[in-house]
Amino acid sequence: MHFITGRHIERRTFLRGVGATVALPFLDAMLPAGRLRGEPVRAAGRTRLICIEEVHGLAGCNDWGASQTLYAPEKVGKDFVLPDQNALVSLREFQDYLTIISNTDVRMAEAFTGPEIGGDHFRSSAVFLTQAHPKQTQGSDIFCGISMDQLYAQQFGQDTPLPSMQFCIENLDQAGGCTYNYSCAYTDSLSWASPNEPLPMIRDPRVAFDMLFGSGSSPADRAERRATRRSILDWIAGEVAAFQRELGTEDRHRMDRYLQNVREIERRIAMVESQNQTGEERALPEAPAGVPDSFREHMEMLFDLQVLALETDMTRIMSFKTGRDAQNRVFAESGSDRGFHPASHHGNREEAILEFNKICQYRVGMLPYLLKKLQDTSDDGGSLLDQTVVLWGSPMADANVHNHRRCPLILLGGGNGMLEGNLHLKAADGTPMANVMLTLLHNLGLDELSSFGDSSGEFSLRSPAAASGL
């Protein structure tokens, strides 16, 4: 067997076959001698981070929508109520893991000069995780900032096989220029390794699967394996059987569940590819064969792959772009037949705001799937949900007027005790969203960071009672 053992199995353990490399989930056999399962791990860098961007803001970020509590709950502090019309209503089940932060601004997404006016959709995504103002250019001299996920990855992600992973849902093209004299790199990138280095994003679930499981040494090998319809697990069946004989009962059950999840996501990817290669007309004709036409199915597949990556400690840091600014995609399952971007320009008409809110509720409604997966996945010291910070938000507030003041932002998960949950925090007027991100980075272990983006200081993520120790 191709794994290393000492007095315990190493956390970074792989089972290897011909053209296949499968990392393992956390097992009791990986606990160092003298440490009991369940003892919390608080080492810097072990907290997982998932950053998710929503485009077009929320219906509750204009004056009338706010008066109807379509986003920020009426009550500030603990035990807030999410009314049925609230965009976050699908998160009621996870309220104990939910921190809502209202009234923060993303001023770096605003126009600084005359030529930038109107270009909000084409620079906002680059601003979200950098909180830096992009240089207006269609050339190679792009310049923005380092994103918060990459600051974390550069310091604490280097001991994992993949320091970070970047995902997207819509078709992205980082080549050439977009509208209003902005490079498409700004429109299509969330993660920036340096001010002039946007990172590519994964749209195709097959690409992510092959990255995680080393399924074949070349494209030809991978195509041949898929043509035989054999699972990646078939190539390591002997390794798995021999390895499991060395495990205790609970670890064998955990391994069985993990391998079933791997086989299931691989089966679903193959089914989508098979359907999309029949020649039948597709709703997304430009998409790779591995990309489902269904928004929900695509989101769930990428969430499944993200959880597998975290479970195996292949990476601890994700960014996920769930839309593309100014897109006109229709989400029929939301109950609205309006395109996403046109619906966001509701003209302040109450009926149109509520129509846009249907789409907002639908898109936020994808999050419980991820949270349940994290909650059901155990790791050293508890569930992945307890050990993860999920940051979800938008660099735009009221898309009807391209406003970037009072933008939506929520935090989910426990973050290894970092987040209290069941909490609505309302920032003082004029508070930069960057203040929240600076505080998160400090809590994640980047203590030496004195500022981030246009931050003006820290922002407490605790309720007054918790902060005072009461």
The answer to whether residue 59 scores a pLDDT higher than 80 is: yes
> If you search the block for the tokens 């030809």, which residue do you land on?
220
The answer to whether residue 282 scores a pLDDT higher than 80 is: yes
Dist. CA 98–CA 411, nearest whole Å: 6
Dist. CA 400–CA 343, nearest whole Å: 9
CATH of domain 44-203+315-467: 3.40.720
Instruction: Give the number of other CB atoms < 10 A from CB of residue 68.
Output: 16
The answer to whether residue 468 scores a pLDDT higher than 60 is: no
Q: What pLDDT shows up at residue 174?
A: 52
Range 11-36 average pLDDT: 76
Q: What pLDDT shows up at residue 268?
A: 96
Q: What pLDDT shows up at residue 124?
A: 97
pTM of the model: 0.93
Report long-range pairs for 234-243 (Cβ below 8 Å, ≥24 apart).
235/17, 235/18, 235/19, 235/20, 236/15, 236/16, 236/17, 236/20, 236/22, 237/17, 238/17, 239/1, 239/2, 239/15, 239/16, 239/17, 240/15, 242/1, 243/1, 243/3, 243/15
238-247, 293-302, 366-375, 417-426: which has the minimum mean pLDDT? 238-247
Confidence of residue 379 (pLDDT cuts 50, 70, 90): confident
Dist. CA 37–CA 380, nearest whole Å: 7
The answer to whether residue 195 scores a pLDDT higher than 70 is: yes
Write out the H or E segment, with its range, that includes residue 408: strand 407-412
Confidence of residue 4 (pLDDT cuts 50, 70, 90): very low
Range 268-280 average pLDDT: 94
pLDDT single digits (tens) 314-357: 999 999 999 999 999 999 999 999 999 999 999 999 999 999 99
Q: Are 214 and 301 in contact (CB under 8 A)?
A: no
The answer to whether residue 13 scores a pLDDT higher than 90 is: no
Q: What pLDDT shows up at residue 238?
A: 85
> If you search the block for the tokens 């790791």, which residue do you land on?
379
Dist. CA 314–CA 161, nearest whole Å: 5
pLDDT single digits (tens) 60-70: 999 999 999 99
Q: What pLDDT shows up at residue 463?
A: 87
**CA triplet 387, 56, 404: central angle to 5 degrees?**
90
Residue 139's SS3 state is: coil
Write out the H or E segment, with its range, that includes residue 198: strand 197-198
Q: What pLDDT shows up at residue 345?
A: 97
Mean pLDDT of the chain: 90
The answer to whether residue 396 scores a pLDDT higher than 90 is: yes
Q: Are 360 and 8 in contact (CB under 8 A)?
A: no
Domain boundaries, the chain: 1-39+209-290, 44-203+315-467
pLDDT single digits (tens) 162-185: 999 999 999 876 555 678 999 999
Q: What pLDDT shows up at residue 6?
A: 39
Q: What pLDDT shows up at residue 224?
A: 61
pLDDT single digits (tens) 301-318: 999 999 999 999 999 999
CB under 8 Å to 197, separation ≥6 — which residues?
none
Q: What pLDDT shows up at residue 216?
A: 53
> If you search the block for the tokens 């990855």, which residue do you land on?
153
Q: Are 361 and 89 in contact (CB under 8 A)?
A: yes
pLDDT single digits (tens) 106-157: 999 999 999 999 999 999 999 999 999 999 999 999 999 999 999 999 999 9
Write out the H or E segment, with its range, that includes residue 425: strand 423-432
Range 211-236 average pLDDT: 69
- Give the residue with greater pLDDT, 399 vs 465: 399
